[in-house]
């Protein structure tokens, strides 16, 4: 274990949520939560690199449009076509972020690939694909980002997972297992990098508006909303500021999971 212990600022900062001068990479920025995270980070002053999850053509178009939003907020930006399940593609995305925006302080893994089917219908290949996008991808991006963050003695990694990581819902075995895997991985990495100035935290997001399959059709939205204390799905725009709060934290919060779910998991 290295002996590096970051020193907290002795002075109480007046603007603790400003991210001016910080550079973030958001993976999965073509999805609603990734877009919300990228925009909120830019609004807080960060420059933001936005990357896709699987480099699909439609996804890349959406990522480019998010980069335009960051540009219109007056922040530095770059759009990266990334297959986050591929080691080399991930390494070049990190290099690209640093060459375009100068540094890397914040990594947000917002990649989300929901799949729901009875386990009898999931082939081993399906499992591999679901685990690759939802679990291997954040592992590869975190690893590559941390190599840079360790040299700087500073890093903030925020992983977004689904509420299904903590609660069982029929037909979501592989997807839920992958997201629960991100929870456990984040706790482990928070310890592995505890003395490197890198925090690793998780936002556990309830079923959200626009979520593929769950929150993008009226029938499903109505069914899910009925079960929630707030009687409505999580709004992606409420997830963005939570990402900012974790990204701007002074470093004493790590290995922690915060539910952004409108009290869904607080109830029996």
Partner 1 sequence: MATPDRFRLDGQVVLLTGAGRGLGRAMAMSFADAGAKVSGASRTLSQLEETAELVTERGGEAISISTDVTDAAAVEAMVQQTIDHFGRVDVLINNAGGGAEGDGSPLTDLTDEQWRWGIDMNLTSQMLCARAVLPHMAERGSGVIINVASGFGLRGGRDNWMYVSAKAGVVNLTRSLAVTYGPAGVRTNCIAPGIFPHTPQALERWRGGRYIPIGRAGVAWEMGPLAVFLSSDAAAGISGETIAQDGGGLAAIGPTGWAPRIRLTEPT
**Applying CB under 8 A, which residues contact partner 1?**
1, 3, 5-18, 20, 40, 43-45, 187, 190-192, 194-195, 199, 206, 229-231, 234-235, 238-239, 241-242, 244-245, 248-256, 258-263, 265-267
Q: Residue 173 CB, nearest distance to partner 1 (Å)?
A: 25
For the four alpha carbons of 137, 140, 143 and 145, in that order, the dihedral sign comes to negative
Q: Tell me the HSE value of 84 on the side-chain side, using a 13 A CA sphere.
A: 37
> How far apart (Å, rounded) are the C-alpha atoms in residues 44 and 19?
5
- Which CB sits closer to partner 1, 9 or 99? 9
Q: Residue 80 CB, nearest distance to partner 1 (Å)?
A: 25
Q: Residue 25 CB, nearest distance to partner 1 (Å)?
A: 20
- Which CB sits closer to partner 1, 22 or 54? 22
> How far apart (Å, rounded) are the C-alpha atoms in residues 268 and 80?
42
| Active-site position among 154, 175, 208, 214 | 175
Q: Residue 253 CB, nearest distance to partner 1 (Å)?
A: 5
> How far apart (Å, rounded) are the C-alpha atoms in residues 209 and 215?
5
Q: Residue 261 CB, nearest distance to partner 1 (Å)?
A: 7
> How far apart (Å, rounded) are the C-alpha atoms in residues 263 and 206?
9
- Which CB sits closer to partner 1, 66 or 115? 66
- Which CB sits closer to partner 1, 7 or 58? 7
Q: Residue 244 CB, nearest distance to partner 1 (Å)?
A: 7
Quick check: is 175 catalytic? yes
- Which CB sits closer to partner 1, 103 or 187? 187
Q: 3-state class of 37 per DSSP?
A: helix
Computed on alpha carbons and rounded to an integer, the radius of gyration of the chain in Å comes to 18
- Which CB sits closer to partner 1, 167 or 195? 195
CB 227 within 8 A of CB 252: no
- Residue 198 host element (H or E): strand 198-205
CB 29 within 8 A of CB 51: yes
> How far apart (Å, rounded) are the C-alpha atoms in residues 82 and 60?
9
Helix intervals (H) in 73-121: 87-101
Paired tokens of 58? 């439609």
Which sequence positions are flagged as catalytic?
175
């Amino acid at each position: 274990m290295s002996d590096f212990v970051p020193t907290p600022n002795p002075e109480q900062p007046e603007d603790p949520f400003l991210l001016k001068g910080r550079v973030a990479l958001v993976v999965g920025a073509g999805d609603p939560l990734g877009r919300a995270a990228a925009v909120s980070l830019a609004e807080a002053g960060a420059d933001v690199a936005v990357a896709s999850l699987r480099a699909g053509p439609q996804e890349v178009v959406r990522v480019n449009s998010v980069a335009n939003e960051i540009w219109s907020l007056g922040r530095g930006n770059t759009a990266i076509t990334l297959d986050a399940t591929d080691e080399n593609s991930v390494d070049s995305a990190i290099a690209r972020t640093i060459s375009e925006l100068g540094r890397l302080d914040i990594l947000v893994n917002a990649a989300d690939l929901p799949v729901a089917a009875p386990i009898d219908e999931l082939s081993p290949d399906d499992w591999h694909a679901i685990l690759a996008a939802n679990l291997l991808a954040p592992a590869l991006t975190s690893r590559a980002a941390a190599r840079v963050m360790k040299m700087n003695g500073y890093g903030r990694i925020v992983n977004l997972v689904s509420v299904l990581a903590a609660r069982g819902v029929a037909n979501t075995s592989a997807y839920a297992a992958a997201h629960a895997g991100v929870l456990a991985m984040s706790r482990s990495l928070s310890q592995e990098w505890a003395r490197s100035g890198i925090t690793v935290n998780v936002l556990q997001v309830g079923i959200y508006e626009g979520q593929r399959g769950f929150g993008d059709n009226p029938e499903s939205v109505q069914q899910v909303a009925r079960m929630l204390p707030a009687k409505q799905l999580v709004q992606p725009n409420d997830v963005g500021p939570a990402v900012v709060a974790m990204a701007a934290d002074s470093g004493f919060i790590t290995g922690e999971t915060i539910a952004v779910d409108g009290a869904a998991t607080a109830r029996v």
